[in-house]
């Protein structure tokens, strides 16, 4: 990806269509944005449950416990 290009695109598209060398950078940006959205939601609502983050945490826990089955 040319860093001098100024293109507007979604992170989802960039994640699906990026070059292999850029995959880690896109994943880090996506993770940062997810955590910022979670923080904004908690500050706005006081509710600490955020489904996408909850699913990611559950999957990480299942993998760590050895209970995750790849379908």
pTM of the model: 0.53
| Burial per residue of 26-56, b for 16 or more beta-carbon CB atoms within 10 angstroms, e otherwise | beeeeeeeeeeebeeeeeeeeeeebeeeeee
pLDDT for position 26: 87
pLDDT in 10s for each residue of the chain, 71 residues: 566 666 667 888 888 888 889 889 988 888 888 888 878 888 888 877 777 778 887 888 888 887 766 65
pLDDT for position 71: 55
pLDDT for position 67: 73
pLDDT for position 3: 62
């Amino acid at each position: 990806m040319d860093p001098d290009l100024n293109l507007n695109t979604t992170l989802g598209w960039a994640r699906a269509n990026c070059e292999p060398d850029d995959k880690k950078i896109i994943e880090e940006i996506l993770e940062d944005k997810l955590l910022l959205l979670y923080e904004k939601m908690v500050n706005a609502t006081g509710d600490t449950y955020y489904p996408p983050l909850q699913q990611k945490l559950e999957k990480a826990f299942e993998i760590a416990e050895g209970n995750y089955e790849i379908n």
